[in-house]
Amino acid sequence: MINKSIFREYDIRGIVGSELNEQSSKLIGYYLGLETIKRTKIQEPVVVIGYDARTHSPELFGYLTSGFNKAGCKVLGMGMVATGVNYFASFQEFNGIKPNASVMITGSHNPSEYNGFKITISNAPFFGEDIYSMGEKIILNQDMIIEDNNSFEEIDVKSLYKNYMIKEFAHLKGMKQKLIIDCGNGVADTVLTDILDALELNYDALYCEPDGTFPNHHPDPSEEKNLKDIIEKLKGDYEYGFAYDGDADRIAFLTKKHNVKGDIMALLFAKTMENPVIIGEVKCTQIMYDRINEKGTAVMYKTGHSNLKVKLKELNADMAAEVSGHIFFNDRYFGFDDAIYATFRLLELIFNGMDIDKEIDSLPKVYSTEEIKIKTTEEEKFPLMDKIKDNLQKVGSDFPKILDIIEVDGVRVIFEQGWGLIRASNTTPVLVTRFESTDLEIAKLYETKLNEIIINSQNELSNITN
């Protein structure tokens, strides 16, 4: 029985064996193949497939390939690559053949028993209702037999990618700043150190060997506990640190003083652009929006890599950013999130003379919480958000004055001295909250008061369902 929960907002993801297995993966390949034929109007479209370092990724590649072959697609296999390299392949030609779709087999920053598929068709994300609709077809036809046929043409996209990066950033050659990188036993170093070496950069590296069991630390650089090794190194001679998640589409950037989140990275990049148009998610600091709007345009949009890619293309913006470290460059690049490319754009800022710590220290001081996750259920989380929105309209006189409520993704409640966010995660059964103010005690007050709204809403929803 195929579990419909594997079909998620941004991708397909589940536990290998019980959820992602031979039957489900073959059917996903088959129906994705049919969808590609339908959308491209090409009878034998070309799909490029790569995979991350997880132990079951090559097996899933074989199953997925069988499904695509059954549908009549031509499969180009690139082996183990970073997600950015996978996306990059979609913009290239291989023996005169240009891909029509791509799949990256990756569990990203999930635990090692998970894996999944990130999908593009005609260089656009395949997500949301498209994934849910395809999932319904697969569940209705889950007894369909798809024979083994994992034939594919092997391609070398890593060499193309490395040559592109070395040429694009040739001006950085010989930079003297001492760098430390942490690949987290993910796939970043399927290309990264070759590029660093070609540019003769001064670096040392941690955990470069791809290992899908992630023996040194969990591959999620958005959590401080996973950065302890690189932070320790920065106490010595190293000046800058870079860390990557399992599939290298998210980056952590550290100086001796700061763990620079994605929204602040976007602000730093905007300083170098003329009339920048930058897209941020609802979790981004207000400082980013205010400062970018002083010289260009900052747009607040939904969280999620697929959402931001679509909005980036729609507005033809220069870049987009998530706090977690997904950085999307449309300026001089292809508009997808690639932590390896972002590494060299950050080094370029330093090379061109930007004092990162000084720039950050000059920003107004605000107190921001990390993401706080509140457990709920898949069935309850969206009705709970509706109840929270209702209750925000009924707050009493003891509640901080609300200036505005932005509902682009959950609720971002604008107060007189800051804001609070409540949104339902599209990938896990949690509500995500974040709070920011110019005053620490007021930030705590916003957190307390909005948590009261959440608790009251949970109780009311429970009473209704019981």
The span from the CA of 440 to the CA of 123, in Å, is 43
High-pLDDT (> 70) share of the chain, %: 100
Mean pLDDT value across residues 120-131: 96
* Predicted local distance difference test score (pLDDT) of residue 462: 83
Fold category of 172-361 in CATH: Alpha-D-Glucose-1,6-Bisphosphate; Chain A, domain 3 (3.40.120)
Mean pLDDT value across residues 407-428: 94
pLDDT band at 410 (very low <50, low <70, confident <90, very high): very high
pLDDT tens profile 163-212 = 999 999 999 999 999 999 999 999 999 999 999 999 999 999 999 999 99
* Predicted local distance difference test score (pLDDT) of residue 428: 81
pLDDT band at 466 (very low <50, low <70, confident <90, very high): low
Mean pLDDT value across residues 384-396: 96
Sequence ranges of the domains in the chain? 4-157, 172-361, 367-465
* Predicted local distance difference test score (pLDDT) of residue 384: 96
Mean pLDDT value across residues 228-250: 97
The token pair that represents 63 in the structure block: 């199953």
High-pLDDT (> 90) share of the chain, %: 93
Q: Which positions are catalytic? A: 13, 108, 326
* Predicted local distance difference test score (pLDDT) of residue 146: 97
Alpha-carbon separation of residue 78 from 141, 148, 190, 342 (angstroms)? 30, 20, 12, 22
Instruction: Give CA torsion, residues 275, 276, 282, 285, to 10 deg.
Output: -80
Write the CB contacts of 448 (distance below 8 Å, at least 6 apart in sequence): none
- Is the pLDDT at 6 greater than 80? The verdict is yes
The mean pLDDT value of the chain amounts to: 96
* Predicted local distance difference test score (pLDDT) of residue 426: 82
Q: Which residue has the tokens 């498209």?
A: 130
* Predicted local distance difference test score (pLDDT) of residue 26: 98
Supply the pTM of this predicted model.
0.95
Fold category of 4-157 in CATH: Alpha-D-Glucose-1,6-Bisphosphate; Chain A, domain 3 (3.40.120)
CB count in 10 Å sphere of residue 220 = 22
Asked if residues 64 and 103 have their Cβ atoms less than 8 Å apart, the reply is yes
- Is the pLDDT at 465 greater than 70? The verdict is no
**Residues forming a β-bridge with 433:** 372, 422
* Predicted local distance difference test score (pLDDT) of residue 241: 98
* Predicted local distance difference test score (pLDDT) of residue 291: 97
- Euclidean distance between the first and the last CA atom of the chain, given in angstroms as a whole number: 29
pLDDT tens profile 317-362 = 999 999 999 999 999 999 999 999 999 999 999 999 999 999 999 9
- Is the pLDDT at 109 greater than 90? The verdict is no
pLDDT tens profile 306-317 = 999 999 999 999
pLDDT tens profile 38-90 = 999 999 999 999 999 999 999 999 999 999 999 999 999 999 999 999 999 99
Closest CA to 86 of 103, 65, 109, 64: 103
| CATH superfamily of the domain spanning 367-465 | Alpha-D-phosphohexomutase, C-terminal domain (3.30.310.50)
Residue 146 DSSP label: -
- Note whether 4-157 and 172-361 share their fold: yes
- Is the pLDDT at 427 greater than 90? The verdict is no
Give the three-class secondary structure for 8. Answer: coil
The token pair that represents 158 in the structure block: 């890593």
Q: Which residue has the tokens 């090692």?
A: 112
- Is the pLDDT at 464 greater than 80? The verdict is no
Alpha-carbon separation of residue 197 from 45, 167, 341, 354 (angstroms)? 37, 13, 15, 23
